[in-house]
């Protein structure tokens, strides 16, 4: 397959998946935010809403604390990412799944989710 076709296909898949205007180049900040939000809400991906109240998410669960004022709680964005990557570091008995360590989300997906959660 030529590079052009691959890129075009990837674009189609991305826009189908996210309704985004993926151009094949690096995602813009807004796109990253939208994609991060989608991953956080998607039941098959982050499904953070299952346990956390998040801004405008429907039917949130309450196993975990509401995700608000994140910059105040995590002045350091890397610490937030680390919590999402492996929640068992801060609490081995936590019910929060270790998203990165168990490969539930890819590193790139965790970056996107972190961007979005950090904005809350």
Residues that bind ligand HEC (CB under 6 A): 40, 46-48, 50-52, 63-65, 67, 73, 80, 83-84, 87, 90-91, 94-97, 99, 113, 117
Closer Cβ to ligand HEC, 14 or 97, answer by number: 97
Contacted by 113, from other proteins, ligand HEC, none: CB < 5 to 8 Å by type: ligand HEC
Instruction: Give 77's Cβ-side CA count (13 Å radius).
Output: 11
Closer Cβ to ligand HEC, 71 or 73, answer by number: 73
Contacted by 52, from other proteins, ligand HEC, none: CB < 5 to 8 Å by type: ligand HEC
CB atoms within 10 A of CB 42: 15
Contacted by 18, from other proteins, ligand HEC, none: CB < 5 to 8 Å by type: none
What six digits make up the tokens of 75? Answer: 């002045």
- For residue 39, the minimal CB distance to other proteins (Å) is 16
What single string gives the DSSP state of each residue in 11-76? HHHHHHHH-----SSPPPHHHHHHHHHHHHH-TTTT-GGGTS--TT-SS---SS-----HHHH-SS
């Amino acid at each position: 397959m030529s590079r052009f076709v691959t890129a075009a296909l990837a674009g189609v898949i991305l826009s189908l998946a996210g309704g985004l205007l993926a151009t094949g180049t690096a995602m813009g900040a807004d796109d990253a935010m939208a994609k991060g939000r989608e991953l956080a809400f998607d039941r098959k991906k982050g499904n953070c809403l299952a346990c956390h109240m998040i801004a405008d998410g429907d039917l949130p669960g309450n196993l975990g604390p509401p995700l608000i004022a994140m910059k105040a709680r995590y002045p350091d964005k890397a610490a937030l990412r680390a919590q999402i990557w492996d929640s068992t570091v801060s609490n081995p008995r936590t019910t929060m799944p270790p998203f990165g360590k168990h490969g539930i989300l890819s590193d790139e997906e965790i970056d996107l989710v972190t961007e979005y959660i950090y904005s809350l």
